[in-house]
Structure 1
Amino acid sequence: MLKGIPKILSPELLKVLAEMGHSDRLVISDGNFPAESMGKDAIVIRCDGHGVPEILDAILQVFPLDSYVEHPVNLMEVMPGDTVETPIWDTYKEIIRKYDDRGDAVVGNIERFAFYDEAKTAYAIIATGESALYANVMLQKGVVTD
């Protein structure tokens, strides 16, 4: 165990976060996301017993968001015609505001199939047991300055 590191971050996940470089992307996926098929060229880490918000909160304690792109955080857009509500997005924005002074401005949306294409090029995918729909979030790593 280490001091100051959220206990939810396993040694495997900490290793991956430390290995990632500037502009590498990380997907934190909900329970419906096809993590294994999307992650054929990525590291897939299973966190099935956890939800996306608790993983996101823990990661942002140690993971800087990219300051060189407009949206270093991206959500999967709801498909036209779907009547799904996404209150979890508000939870994500609340968490992000705790760790990044740019607040909600860092959050963008990517069309569902474009999100899948981007996920296929991610450095790693964290597969959670999150049951909320459209709860996938992609983070782009920034530079550690301190």
Structure 2
Amino acid sequence: MKRSGLLHAELNRVIAAMGHLDMLVIADVGLPVPPGVPCIDLAVLPGTPSFATVFEAVYAELAVQGLTVATEIHQHNPALKQLADRLENEGLAVERISHDEFKRLSARAVAVVRTGETVPYANVILHAGVTF
């Protein structure tokens, strides 16, 4: 049994198997999961678990080189905009694309992690980095 950190077995397995530039989506409850992409469904109730809680747990485990968000966050999700800006200031590459492009790109992800988040556009694609 793990002592700390991310405890979800399936999510740990996916993260451990990721290679450089593989993509992992952390999604709100409404993002459609593309056919053929595994869904790790963590949603329990509206808002639970939150996007922020799941993001922080995954970000602590995964070497992240960059991330992709939808441009719509600028108008509809100030918290995610603030997070993206902070990570970009810390040196991560942040790509901003339309929500429609985001949904198309998510079809190439190794998995979609579905949260209970109900704030619009609370979705991010994490691009795996390397630790060396």
Q: Which amino acid aligns with 1:31?
A: V
C-alpha spacing 1:14/1:118, structure 2 compared with 1 (3 Å): same
What CA distance in whole angstroms lies between the structure 2 residues aligned with 1:101 and 1:95? 6
C-alpha spacing 1:133/1:31, structure 2 compared with 1 (3 Å): same
Corresponding residue of 2:128: 141
Deviations 1:12-42 (A, max 9, x none): 100011011111000101111112xx1x222
Q: How many residues align?
A: 128
Deviations 1:111-132 (A, max 9, x none): 1111111001111100111011
C-alpha spacing 1:129/1:95, structure 2 compared with 1 (3 Å): farther
TM-score of the two chains, using structure 1 as the length reference: 0.77
Q: Which runs of 5+ in 1 are unaligned?
A: 67-71
C-alpha spacing 1:91/1:54, structure 2 compared with 1 (3 Å): farther
C-alpha spacing 1:11/1:96, structure 2 compared with 1 (3 Å): farther
TM-score of the two chains, using structure 2 as the length reference: 0.84
C-alpha spacing 1:91/1:27, structure 2 compared with 1 (3 Å): same
What CA distance in whole angstroms lies between the structure 2 residues aligned with 1:31 and 1:76? 16
C-alpha spacing 1:57/1:96, structure 2 compared with 1 (3 Å): farther
C-alpha spacing 1:57/1:131, structure 2 compared with 1 (3 Å): same
Corresponding residue of 1:53: 52
Q: Which amino acid aligns with 1:58?
A: A
RMSD of aligned residue pairs (Cα, Å): 2.4
